């Protein structure tokens, strides 16, 4: 009998899997010899897609080769060791295998009885990560999410529900006062989006100025809360950041926890990137106080280097996810009724959901805590080397952080602090294909170049290549 059209015959499948593993292995082995950045030509790209009008099927290998060649050509290669960007790492080998298994076995993470292993793996990981942050594993709950955005959104929702129980059924209009939350000026913008998605509106996000060290000022937080209460607002949540996106600053968590506890506000720590410091004994003290957080965002697809997307929301309030997300229905599977288990759809934003935890599980099982500590230590060392080499080449590194992200300006050029000049330098580097860096602004006003070590494969030669590409860019702009 012929195979159904959506399932290729055994011979074709065997050849396809061979080509697939070859493509994955070639990408891993040869990527470092390729350009980091693609040509940006939407017209050409769209023209290449025009032949796929889907009126007649194309061959499996034809379509597959098109995609592999296209991905090589049209992608900023975030897994490249000279991608110094936005926490997009090279995926772990075991993470790639885990994601492939998730696609093939396709566990459905809505009801426990459908995917007992995948669901228990995720809960096991949530408790394991919670323990690294100092939570009591017996009093830890959480959920995997698409990424930091969804985890932060979950945090805002759970805090709202905990502080204003009537919000769940009657919405914001049931509240007598406008709820407000606090972030530092350096916090990730996903919090603004989360406020919008929760119906709070972005005006409900009150920014507390970061000090010169780019960390949230706990005293300014306390006086902001007092001022808002006097004006009739209803403060409910403080979000502090452990590893800001631009500069890797870690808010003073104990001082902020102090304020949040005194004011009876939910404390959420966005440790999407920096949270991985908890895996390295000598870096763990940087996160002191995180155990006092009501909830934590931690992204495995950042410093744990698993394929996108793998966020985790962790909380020490074991009932809050159920209170926030549980919806009664009759059509979902009920075989597990009476067992001491959690149906994820009652417990998180998504309903049907991909098994996110498999790639994290395989990566952590095979590397172990020690393997991750070694990888993170290496990246921190590469960050220190980059800082040193930038300073030696006339760039001034302006952020102070133990994490491997450098924000810098040009000391050798009269315009070396101007946004326009720094943007041109970044574009020159990106355009050369030799590395990817970016620009950002610190404290809302100070333009800087930004280079972050996000890849466990980045080595001293790659650092030298970046510093060389920056020198070439400077020369090109100064002639």
Ligand X SMILES: Cc1ncc(COP(=O)(O)O)c(C=O)c1O
Phi, psi torsion values for 83, nearest 5 degrees: -90, 110
Q: Nearest distance from residue 326's CB to ligand X, in Å? A: 24
The two three-digit tokens of residue 190, written as one number: 């996903």
Closest distance between ligand X and the C-beta of residue 147, in Å? 3
Task: Provide the 3-class DSSP secondary structure of residue 212.
Answer: coil
Question: Is the Cβ of residue 111 or residue 304 nearer to ligand X in the bound state?
Answer: 304
Q: How far is the CB of 242 from ligand X (least distance, A)?
A: 8
Within 302-399, residue ranges assigned H as helices are 320-325, 357-392
In the complex with ligand X, which residue's Cβ is closer, 107 or 147?
Answer: 147
Beta carbons of 422 and 448 less than 8 angstroms apart: yes
446 three-class SS: strand
Q: What distances in angstroms separate CA 417 from CA 78, 211, 214, 245, one per listed residue?
A: 27, 20, 18, 20
Q: Which CB sits closer to ligand X, 183 or 218?
A: 183
d(CA 208, CA 218): 9
Nearer to ligand X, 247 or 473 (CB): 247
The answer to whether the CB of 256 falls within 8 A of the CB of 262 is no
Q: Minimum Å distance from CB 100 to ligand X?
A: 21
Return the number of the residue (130 or 275) whose C-beta is nearest ligand X.
275
Q: Which is nearer to ligand X, 147 or 252 (CB)?
A: 147
Assigned token pair, 18: 């061979």
Give the pair of three-digit tokens for residue 384: 């220190």
Nearest-5° angle of CA 381, CA 387, CA 393?
A: 135
Task: Give Dmax (Cα) for the chain.
Answer: 76
**Strand 395-397's sheet: what is its strand order?**
395-397, 405-410, 446-452, 438-442
Return the number of other C-beta atoms located less than 10 Å from residue 472's C-beta. 14
Q: Give the nearest distance from C-beta 301 to ligand X in angstroms.
A: 6
User: Smallest gap, in angstroms, from Cβ of residue 86 to ligand X?
Assistant: 6
Least distance in angstroms from the C-beta of 150 to ligand X: 7
**Shortest distance, position 38 Cβ to ligand X, whole Å:** 21
Nearer to ligand X, 83 or 273 (CB): 273
User: By C-beta, is 193 or 424 nearer to ligand X?
Assistant: 193
Structure tokens at 181: 């939350």
User: Rounded to an integer, what distance in angstroms lies between the CA atom of residue 164 and that of residue 304?
Assistant: 35
d(CA 160, CA 172): 9
Q: Which residues bind ligand X (CB under 6 A)?
A: 86-87, 147-149, 152, 188, 190, 241, 245, 270, 272-273, 299, 311
């Amino acid at each position: 009998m012929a195979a159904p059209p959506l399932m290729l015959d055994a011979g074709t499948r065997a050849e396809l899997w061979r080509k697939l593993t070859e493509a994955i292995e070639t990408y891993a082995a040869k990527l470092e010899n390729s350009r980091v950045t693609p040509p940006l030509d939407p017209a050409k790209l769209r023209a290449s897609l025009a032949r796929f009008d889907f009126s007649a099927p194309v061959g499996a290998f034809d379509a597959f080769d098109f995609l592999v060649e296209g991905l090589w050509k049209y992608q900023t290669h975030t897994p490249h060791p000279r991608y110094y960007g936005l926490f997009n790492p090279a995926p772990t080998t075991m993470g790639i295998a885990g994601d492939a298994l998730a696609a093939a076995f396709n566990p459905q993470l809505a009801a426990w009885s459908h995917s007992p292993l995948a669901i228990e793996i995720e809960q096991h990981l949530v408790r394991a990560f919670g323990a690294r942050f100092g939570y009591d594993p017996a009093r830890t709950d959480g959920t995997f999410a698409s990424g930091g955005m969804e985890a932060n959104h979950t945090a805002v929702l759970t805090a709202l529900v905990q502080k204003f129980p009537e919000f769940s059924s009657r919405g914001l209009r049931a509240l007598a006062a406008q709820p407000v939350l606090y972030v530092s000026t350096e916090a990730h913008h996903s919090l603004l989006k989360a406020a919008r998605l929760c119906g709070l509106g972005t005006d409900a996000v009150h920014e507390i100025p970061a000090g010169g060290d780019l960390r949230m000022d706990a005293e300014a937080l306390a006086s902001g809360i007092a001022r808002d209460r006097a004006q009739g607002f209803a403060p409910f949540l403080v979000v502090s950041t452990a590893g800001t996106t631009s500069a890797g600053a870690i808010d003073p968590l104990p001082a902020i926890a102090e304020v949040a506890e005194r004011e009876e506000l939910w404390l959420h720590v966005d440790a999407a990137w920096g949270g991985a410091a908890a895996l390295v004994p000598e870096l763990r003290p940087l996160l002191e106080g995180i155990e006092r957080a009501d909830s934590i965002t931690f992204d495995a697809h950042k410093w744990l280097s698993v394929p996108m997307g793998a966020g985790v929301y962790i909380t020490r309030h074991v009932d809050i996810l159920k209170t926030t997300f549980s919806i009664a229905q009759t059509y979902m599977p009920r075989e597990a009724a009476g067992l001491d288990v959690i149906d994820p759809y009652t417990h998180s934003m998504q309903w049907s959901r991909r098994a996110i935890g498999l790639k994290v599980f395989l990566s952590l099982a095979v590397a172990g805590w020690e393997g991750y500590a070694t990888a993170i230590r290496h990246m921190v060392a590469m960050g220190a080397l980059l800082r040193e080499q930038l300073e030696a080449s006339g760039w001034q590194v302006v952020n102070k952080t133990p994490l491997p992200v450098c924000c810098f300006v040009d000391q050798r050029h009269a315009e070396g602090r101007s946004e326009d000049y720094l943007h041109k330098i970044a574009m020159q580097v990106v355009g050369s294909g030799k590395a990817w860096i970016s620009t950002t602004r610190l404290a809302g006003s100070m333009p800087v170049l930004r280079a972050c070590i996000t890849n466990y494969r980045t080595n001293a030669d790659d650092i030298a290549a970046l510093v060389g590409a920056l020198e070439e860019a400077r020369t090109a702009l100064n002639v």
